């Protein structure tokens, strides 16, 4: 009996070894799983969505954005037909131009007109938003500013259809130097650019004040031309990626090739006749 006791202890010890190994193996796999899970979580990074690129990179020449014929019609006897450019430290971001004139008809009175156009462009910014979004915010501010003109009477704001991507017309009357003026401001947005056109007029020395409808009509015409001028000089890309203007040289080259072909045919015919 005394001899069997040590033997039994040895058997139990050997039997316990595989169990310990299995437990150790499971514990090791569990630790690795935990380790692999904790190592991957820090590598997951949140990526911010990329803002939409700005549609227009430049602005048109403000004084050339409205046609000469339109200027003659809206501002008779204008002092400077080419317009007076506004001051800007960066013409790629902000620009403006104005015209004014007095059509003096002597005892019949005089008609005064004033026209102003302004452009504001916004770039896309990761922290501030897309150029279009920023331009929309500026558009809203300018409409509100026009509506809040000090001393304005009979102010009215309405959507201006068919001008840019969105536009609003603000009309009102204003008395200055004892004269009654009619005003119309068109604020429009196209892409990342805000266009603002203000047109006003008054009758002096007994002349009749222009109608609000005529002033609004003139403002709409000028605004439509100013909006169309945005990006008008931007070259359009063909499917091959080349500027569409490259089609003209190819046409000339084709004409040249035809002329060369005709000359070659005539030379060949003469040589054949001689032989």
Backbone angles phi, psi at 59, to 5 degrees: -120, 150
Q: How far is CA 22 from the centre of its chain?
A: 69
Angstrom distance (rounded) from CA 269 to CA 263: 10
Contact in structure between 106 and 207 (CB atoms under 8 Å): no
Q: What is the pLDDT of residues 225-258, one digit of tens each?
A: 999 999 886 633 333 333 333 333 334 444 444 4
Domain spans, the chain: 62-229
Pick the range with the lowest mean pLDDT from 15-19, 48-52, 133-137, 189-193: 15-19
Q: What is the pLDDT of residues 171-208, one digit of tens each?
A: 999 999 889 999 999 999 999 999 999 999 999 988 99
Contact in structure between 69 and 77 (CB atoms under 8 Å): no
* Fold exhibited by the domain 62-229: Protein Transport Mog1p; Chain A (3.40.1000)
Residue 94 has pLDDT above 70, yes or no: yes
Averaged confidence pLDDT in the chain: 79
């Amino acid at each position: 009996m005394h001899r069997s006791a040590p033997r039994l202890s040895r058997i139990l010890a050997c039997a316990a070894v595989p169990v310990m190994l299995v437990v150790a193996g499971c514990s090791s796999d569990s630790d690795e799983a935990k380790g692999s899970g904790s190592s991957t979580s820090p590598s997951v990074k949140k990526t911010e969505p990329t803002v939409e690129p700005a549609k227009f990179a430049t602005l048109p020449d403000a004084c050339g954005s409205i046609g000469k014929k339109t200027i003659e019609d809206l501002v008779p006897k204008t002092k400077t037909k080419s317009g007076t450019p506004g001051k800007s430290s960066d013409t790629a971001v902000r620009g403006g131009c104005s015209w004014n004139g007095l059509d003096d008809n002597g005892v019949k009175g005089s008609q005064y007109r004033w026209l102003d156009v302004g452009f504001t462009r916004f770039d896309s910014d990761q922290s501030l938003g897309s150029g279009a979004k920023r331009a929309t915010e500026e558009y809203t501010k300018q409409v509100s500013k026009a509506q809040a003109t000090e001393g304005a009477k009979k102010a009215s704001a309405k959507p201006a259809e068919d001008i840019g991507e969105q536009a609003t017309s603000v009309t009102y009357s204003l008395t200055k130097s004892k004269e009654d003026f009619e005003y119309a401001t068109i604020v429009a947005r196209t892409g990342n650019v805000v266009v603002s056109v203000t047109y006003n007029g008054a009758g002096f020395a007994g002349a009749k004040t222009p109608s609000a409808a005529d002033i609004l009509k003139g403002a709409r015409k000028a605004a439509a031309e100013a909006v169309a001028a945005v990006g008008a000089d931007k070259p359009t890309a063909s499917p091959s990626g080349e500027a569409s203007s490259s089609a003209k040289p190819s046409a000339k080259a084709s004409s040249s090739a035809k002329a060369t072909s005709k000359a070659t045919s005539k030379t060949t015919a003469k040589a054949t006749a001689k032989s």
